[in-house]
Structure 1
Amino acid sequence: MKTITVTIRTSILLMIIVMIYQLAVTGIAQVFMPHKANGSLVYDGNNQLIGSELIGQTFVSPRYFHGRVSSIEYNAASSGTPNYAPSNPDLLRRVQNSVTKWKADNPDVPVNNLPVDLITNSGSGLDPDISPASALAQIPRISSLTGIQKNTLEKLVIEHTQGRDLGLFGEERVNVLKLNMALSELLAK
């Protein structure tokens, strides 16, 4: 009986410690970085929720920049992607379909200049970013469809390119949602 009592007391004590820890971490995050603590949500000029900086979205209009391929259609309820081996026929088929779609949507850009992140999934299937090269490769299509000069679009990509974290970690990247919001502002003018 003594063992059961000790076990119950220890369990209750540990639950209380864990709850206090969670409340403390949440409180600290809300005070020091509320934007990140609340999901890095992005709003438009009318304070309308557009999405999150952390979760990619599907942009189907050819007038906008497109993100990476997502096997889960950017459904944040679960993340992940099939982890196919390079020899897997399903991976080859998916990449071939992506290349075929790229050729149809971007006839002015040679396939040998196609950045690999535009035809491959990220590990989570939710990646909101593309490489600067992927954004730049889409400029001919967007320029011809919108009438916006290529050099203006290049400046837009450069303005929205984020460097490596702490100058060391990760790669340069462009958040597709933020880039497309800036493009929408240009189109509205």
Structure 2
Amino acid sequence: MSKLLRNALTMLVLMTVITGIIYPLAVTGLAQTLFPSQANGSLIVKDGKPVGSMLIGQSFDDPKYFWGRPSSTTPQPNNGMSSNGSNLGPTNPALTDAVKQRIGALRAADPGNMKPVPVDLVTASASGLDPEISPAAADYQVARVAKARGMSESQVQTMVNMSTTGRQFGFLGESRVNVLKLNLALDGH
């Protein structure tokens, strides 16, 4: 019995060292060596200070900034600790009301804009943390941002075009615009 207990304790200590110390250190070391930016959160740094992550959206409501997708996280928007979708189905009146409210806010911020509102500006994603919008969502906001910044629409559109990332490998996903990177580029202009 004591030999069995000793073998069990030896295996417990050995597996704890392997899976609890050696493996995590090896994976962390490889990640830091091969993918340092991603391993550290894909941070966006401005003036030597992190201002956000390329992977988590931020909320903007000033007219001089591009606005991202709505976030369904609580207690505050874009809360990485509570990533989730709203779980509201397409026939749920709460979703319909939220979309109508968001459309109203977009129309109030830019009353002369009669373009159709892109769906990604009025619906949250499954994670509630999207840092990117579609080029159509960015195009919808160009006039408002240009007016608020005293820039021409073509200048702002050029910045949107420069901030647009194409499909991965040319065929996966859709083109997208990282809202934080675009807003930082506009602030630096």
TM-score (norm 2): 0.90
- Residues in 1 aligned to 2:158 and 2:78: alpha-carbon distance in whole angstroms: 28
> Residue 63 of structure 1 corresponds to which residue in structure 2?
64
- Is there any run of 5+ residues in structure 1 with no aligned partner, and where? none
1:28 is matched with 30
1:41 corresponds to which letter in structure 2?
Answer: L
Name the CA distance, whole Å, in 1 between partners of 2:149 and 2:163. Answer: 19
Q: Does 1:38 align with 2:40?
A: yes
1:143 to 146, 156, 160: 146
Name the counterpart of 2:159. Answer: 156
Secondary structure of the residue that 2:44 maps to in structure 1? strand
Fraction of identical pairs, as percent: 43
Of 129, 133, 153, the match for 2:132: 129
Measured in 2, the distance between the counterparts of 1:25 and 1:166 equals 26
1:122-178 CA-to-partner distances (Å, cap 9, x unmatched) read 111111010111111100111111111111111111111111222222211111000
Tell me which of 73, 94, 102 is aligned to 1:98. Answer: 102
The secondary structure found in structure 2 opposite 1:174 is strand
Q: Distance in 2 between matches of 1:127 and 1:160?
A: 16
Q: TM (normalized to structure 1)?
A: 0.90
Q: 1:4 to 1:102 in 2, by over 3 A?
A: farther
1:171 equivalent in structure 2: 174
* CA distances 1:71-116 after superposition (whole Å, capped 9, x unpaired): 22011122112111111111111111111111111222225x2110
Q: How many residues align?
A: 184
The offset of 1:55, in angstroms, is: 0.8
Q: In 1, distance between residues paired with 2:131 and 2:93?
A: 27
Partner of 1:53: 54
**CA distance in structure 1 between the partners assigned to 2:177 and 2:87 by the alignment:** 24
